[in-house]
Chain A
């Protein structure tokens, strides 16, 4: 099969682009988690903000990815390097599942447990770190998992603005009208998505069992 031959002949580049892809997805998910989890915690406690924040994250989600990359291109510091831009866009897309699951997870903690904790004199931060977050962690993780899987797919489009990643093969294959080149990008991307899904799913179940 020509696809395998292509992979074997371009091992180095396949590996390089896969690592680049992982870098794009990994960094953007990390940033999204660093922003999204605290934001989700905040809106689960200050419920006046919840509608606005979730609506904002939802709106970002509806922007077509190619258009978002395009919009960000003229922004000064970002536009200089395509990978910066791609990471920002991917971070924005990853926010919704992370914020929403953090919010849902914390709101889902049995109110009796929270009331008992507050009544026995836990401070709000003790309540958060010892009760609410441990009980919400598997729901939060499943949000991160969804974000990663979405990002792996979306990151292929980042190649359109020259940010690298496995999308390079896909776009090149499209230009060359060569299926085996397209597959050389698509199949490793699919494997990445599945692998991340399985790994985070395992982590999620482990946490739930505790």
Chain B
């Protein structure tokens, strides 16, 4: 593990989560540093999504605590917490009855930004996420899957949160579109330097996008490694993952950050 630098933006302290008799997570200790992309990697049911949802309190831990910007996230106002954290999910979840513009501007509007600033922000975000300006007046069902998820990302960035939670955001897209969005995510991240927690089961995506990779298995955090370390790791779970994905992984490694 890396030595903790400065103050982590998101920190898990011995966190456990249980539903009834099922122990979904146990003993998770994790620190996410300012401006890094921490990838939670693991198979289905390993607890990645649960871990992510503990950050913005869509779920609450049954033991331990999650700190955001140094403060236990259970202590403050949950609504304010969520508005300060962008959230992107695999199923996108755009509001089907709102135009793209209204989808993006919902939170800024709710927190009372002036009309002119909102409009400028929408224009900026459309450009940032590679969408044409005339998309603003379209409805979600008129967009392709890739375009919809761009809007999803734009919406998450709307109120300029420092932290971004992404739950397999590119998982449902075709390989070419996924490749585009991954590339754009990297260049976006170069510029914005958000603190990102990114869930995926795709090692290639993890290596490409992650500053560090937190490998999860059966509700436990196995290890946290940089992409390069991950490829050379002798940890049985990590090397099992590397073997399953086969050759050519070196070329995928994130050179942008870390």
Contacts and interface: CB of A to CB of B under 8 A. Distances in A.
B68 to A, nearest CB: 13
A119 B82 contact: yes
B45 interface: no
Name the interface size band of chain B. 20 to 34
B120 interface: no
Contacts of A113: 93-96
A140 to B, nearest CB: 14
A126 B189 CA distance: 31
A118 interface: yes
Interface of B is mostly: mixed
Contacts of A135: 96-97
Contacts, number: 61
A110 B93 contact: yes
A210 interface: yes
A115 B58 contact: yes
Contacts of B91: 110, 112, 115
Given A120-B86, A120-B106, A122-B106, 10 more contacts: A115-B89, A116-B94, A117-B95, A119-B56, A119-B87, A119-B165, A121-B84, A123-B79, A131-B95, A135-B96
Interface string B83-107: 1101101011111110000000011
Nearest to B102: A130
Nearest to B140: A113
A188 interface: no
B19 interface: no
Interface of A: 110, 112-123, 126, 130-131, 134-135, 210
Contacts of B97: 134-135, 210
Given A112-B92, A135-B96, A118 B110 contact: no
A131 B86 CA distance: 19
A133 B84 CA distance: 26
B58 A120 contact: no
B155 interface: yes
A59 B55 CA distance: 45
A210 B106 CA distance: 18
Interface SS of chain A: helix, strand, loop or mixed? helix
B87 A120 contact: yes
Interface string B160-181: 0000010000000000000000
Contact of A121 (B79, B89, B92, B93): B79
Contacts of A126: 110
Contacts of B156: 120
A116 B98 CA distance: 14
For the complex of A and B, 10 pairs with smallest distance between CB atoms: A116-B93, A112-B91, A121-B82, A121-B83, A119-B87, A112-B93, A113-B93, A121-B79, A134-B97, A120-B107
Contacts of A116: 87, 89, 92-95, 152
A113 B94 CA distance: 6
B41 to A, nearest CB: 21
Contacts of A123: 79
B243 interface: no
B155 A119 contact: no
A119 B89 contact: yes
